[in-house]
């Protein structure tokens, strides 16, 4: 699907695109032309490519979901960016990061945005809506500023995703300290996987935006470079946050292992106490349970009427003394 608007200060005009002629007319109209392409058919791709002299390999990059990048072509700059979102996955993980590529083709007085899926992408639709509402800054400046706003919206979503990941790490850490469970370590592995997926997006995004911020791209005018530098600074911060959260997940995993180890030590300590108590009792019972023959002089106390109660009382006394000792040692 192809839609187009032509805008200038105080004027926004929607154009119906049904043929290559309509698209050529929209491009040649005075002002800034923005063409939005969603899930294009091969014929629509051909029409857009012919109208703006776009390379077919750039379209293939958007469909193939390659890493974010910036490339220079004759007459325009191609920028591939990605949106990110946490969605319920079909794998064993509770949530996983889903990315959606957006192709930005930036010319002197025109901008083409392309997505491979039919659904409207929020970061593009929001900026498109601001143009329709005739927001002054976007109308006064060229297509490079509209492209900047799309990038800026995408980066804002990056921060929201990292905030969610950070809250999840904090919740898992608190749960581990209170009630360690194997499910918690599975959730922590999910977070580590999400951070790895996000890192594969944000690192190349920083490189792609850096090219625009340094003024290496012909499609970005000098007055607009400062906006791209601001986006670049945000991406640098995101890279640092990603590494920080990865370190936090490793630290949280170590906390889990320490808590489990400590719990195991407590169990072993209690088992040792039980074993230490029963060792003397077993010894006493074993001595009196041995076969010494039938003559009472082999165990003289067997002839004593109070022998059994005395042995039981002695065993109880030994148990009490051991429990008192372990209590003082802090084992109980």
Tell me the CATH class for 262-328.
mainly alpha
Question: Which tokens go with 245?
Answer: 């959260």
Between 40 and 106, residue with greater pLDDT? 106
Average pLDDT over residues 312-319: 79
Q: pTM score, two decimals?
A: 0.74
> Which tens digit of pLDDT belongs to each residue from 232-281?
999 999 988 888 888 888 777 777 777 777 667 676 777 777 777 777 77
Closest listed residue to residue 33, CA positions, set 22, 45, 47 = 22
In the chain, domain spans: 2-260, 262-328
Per-residue pLDDT at 236: 92
b/e per residue 86-120 (b: at least 16 CB within 10 A): beeeeeebebbbeebbbbbbbbeebbbbbbbeeee
> Which tens digit of pLDDT belongs to each residue from 284-295?
777 666 555 555
Query: 59 burial class (0-12, 13-18, 19+ CB within 10 angstroms)?
Result: buried
What is the widest separation between alpha-carbon atoms in the chain? 124
DSSP state at residue 207: H
SS3 101: strand
2-260 CATH choice from 1.10.1740.10, 3.40.50.620, 3.40.30.160, 3.30.460.20? 3.30.460.20
């Amino acid at each position: 699907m192809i839609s187009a608007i032509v805008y200038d200060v105080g004027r926004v005009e929607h154009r119906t695109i049904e043929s290559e002629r309509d698209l050529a007319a929209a491009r040649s109209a005075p002002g800034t032309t923005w063409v939005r392409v969603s899930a294009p058919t091969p014929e629509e791709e051909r029409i857009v490519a012919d109208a703006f002299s776009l390379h077919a390999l750039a379209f293939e990059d958007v469909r193939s979901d390659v890493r974010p990048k910036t490339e220079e072509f004759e007459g325009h700059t191609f920028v591939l960016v990605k949106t990110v979102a946490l969605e319920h996955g079909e794998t064993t993980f509770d949530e996983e990061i889903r990315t959606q590529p957006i192709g930005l083709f930036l010319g002197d007085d025109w901008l083409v945005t392309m997505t491979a899926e039919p659904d409207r992408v929020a970061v593009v639709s929001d900026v498109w809506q601001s143009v329709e509402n005739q927001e002054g800054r976007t109308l006064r400046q060229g297509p490079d500023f509209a492209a900047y706003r799309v990038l800026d919206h995408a980066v804002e979503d990056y921060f929201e995703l990292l905030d969610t990941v950070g809250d999840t790490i904090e919740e898992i850490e608190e749960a581990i300290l209170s009630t360690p469970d194997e499910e918690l370590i599975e959730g922590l592995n999910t977070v580590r996987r999400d951070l790895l997926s996000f890192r594969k997006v944000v690192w190349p995004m920083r490189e792609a935006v850096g090219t625009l911020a340094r003024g290496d791209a012909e499609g970005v005018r000098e007055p607009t470079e400062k906006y791209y530098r601001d986006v670049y600074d945000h991406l640098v911060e995101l890279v640092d946050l990603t590494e920080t959260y990865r370190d936090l997940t490793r630290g949280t995993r170590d906390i889990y292992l320490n808590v489990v180890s400590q719990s195991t030590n407590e169990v072993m300590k209690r088992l040792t106490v039980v074993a230490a108590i029963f060792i003397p009792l077993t010894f006493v019972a074993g001595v009196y349970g041995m076969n010494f023959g039938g003559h009472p002089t082999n165990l003289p106390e067997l002839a004593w009427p109070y022998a059994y109660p005395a042995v039981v009382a002695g065993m109880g006394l030994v148990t009490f003394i051991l429990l008192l000792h372990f209590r003082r040692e802090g084992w109980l």
